[in-house]
Structure 1
């Protein structure tokens, strides 16, 4: 049971990460944010790899999962800085999130809790096939929703990293101890020696 506690906890955190990543992927698709969509897809694949490694006792998969979590924390930290416009980062640079393919930003900009969207007709600021809108009355601005989402991802990733390192260490120790007692050690296993069989010859007696 003690060994299962760490594995079960890690699987639980991986499932939470998977649900949170799928939820974020849906809203990023609705906002046509292609850079986060790509990052979310890689994260989903890494989480599935972590679940498989935990269930199948594969320490290498857990190490790969842990390395990805470090990159994932860095990406989400960048997202937080981007929406809070830390330093020289600005939300006016659409190419960072959409690869300069659209003017869409966060889906929560127009669909946040309590937001009232009013279209601005005949605006000269709108490019071709686009329109300008005015958003007001939001209970929580979209940038803070995105920051909370990224902070949740960082929280889950940190716990996942700790448990991935712990469970991976347990797996490696078990493999070393198993080899020490001759589990898969070539020196501990001796193939049965072939015994030579003597052919029996009939005996002839003279009468």
Structure 2
């Protein structure tokens, strides 16, 4: 029962991670943030691998899933530090999120709750393919929305890591116990032995005696 509860709980956390990752992927696409888009795609693949490993009793897949969650926690911690501008990190460095292909801008910057966007026309600060805007009246700034999203990803990843380690440990213990009681090991299964020459010797002896008896009977009739 404990194994079933652990598997069901892990599948539930994986489904929550999948929904949260898809939601985040949509908003990152809307904001043209290419580095987070790539990271989200890898995370979605790893979560699907974790679900498959849980359902199919594949401990190796769960180990790979758990290792990816460690990297995922580190990436989301970096996102939090980036939006809060911890240390030398700054949101003005566009190449960090977009491979320096476009202006970094979170979708929540212009579409946050209560935000009022006012474009600044003919500004000397505007680039060739971008415009300058002022955003006012937001109930919650976009950087805090991104921080909350990353914190939720870390929360789900930590629980997923714990349950992935537990379920994979259960799977490996079951595999070891199955081999020990003679599942497919070399001690539990013995191939049928071939008949040796000694086992066939009585049969050959009986046939030889029969032929000798027939020959003696034939010789007896010849003499008669």
Interval of TM-score (by shorter of Structure 1 and Structure 2)? over 0.9
Deviating more after overlay: 152-161 vs 98-107: 98-107
2: distance between equivalents of 1:123 and 1:59? 58
Contact 1:97 1:105 in 2 (8 A): no
Number of residues of Structure 1 aligned to a counterpart in Structure 2: 205
Alignment RMSD: 2.7
**Equivalent residue for 1:51?**
51
Structure 1 residues 127, 2: CA separation in 2 closer, same or farther (over 3 Å shift)?
same
Structure 1 residues 54, 199: CA separation in 2 closer, same or farther (over 3 Å shift)?
closer
1: distance between equivalents of 2:76 and 2:118? 31
Pick the structure with greater CA Rg: 2
Q: 1:24-62 CA distances to partner (integer Å, 9 max, x unpaired)? A: 000000000000000000000000000000001000000
1: distance between equivalents of 2:60 and 2:203? 66
* Structure 2: segments with no counterpart, 5+ residues: 206-224
Structure 1 residues 204, 81: CA separation in 2 closer, same or farther (over 3 Å shift)?
closer
**Equivalent residue for 1:202?**
202
Give the drift of 1:2.
2.3
Contact 1:35 1:99 in 2 (8 A): yes
TM-score, normalised relative to structure 2? 0.86
TM-score, normalised relative to structure 1? 0.93
Q: 1:74-122 CA distances to partner (integer Å, 9 max, x unpaired)? A: 0000000000000000000011001111113110000000000000011
Q: Would you identify which runs of 4 or more consecutive aligned residues in structure 1 move more than 2 Å?
A: 192-205
Give the drift of 1:201.
15
Structure 1 residues 202, 89: CA separation in 2 closer, same or farther (over 3 Å shift)?
closer
* Structure 1: segments with no counterpart, 5+ residues: none
Structure 1 residues 201, 84: CA separation in 2 closer, same or farther (over 3 Å shift)?
closer
More helix by share: 2
1: distance between equivalents of 2:153 and 2:113? 21
2: distance between equivalents of 1:201 and 1:50? 60
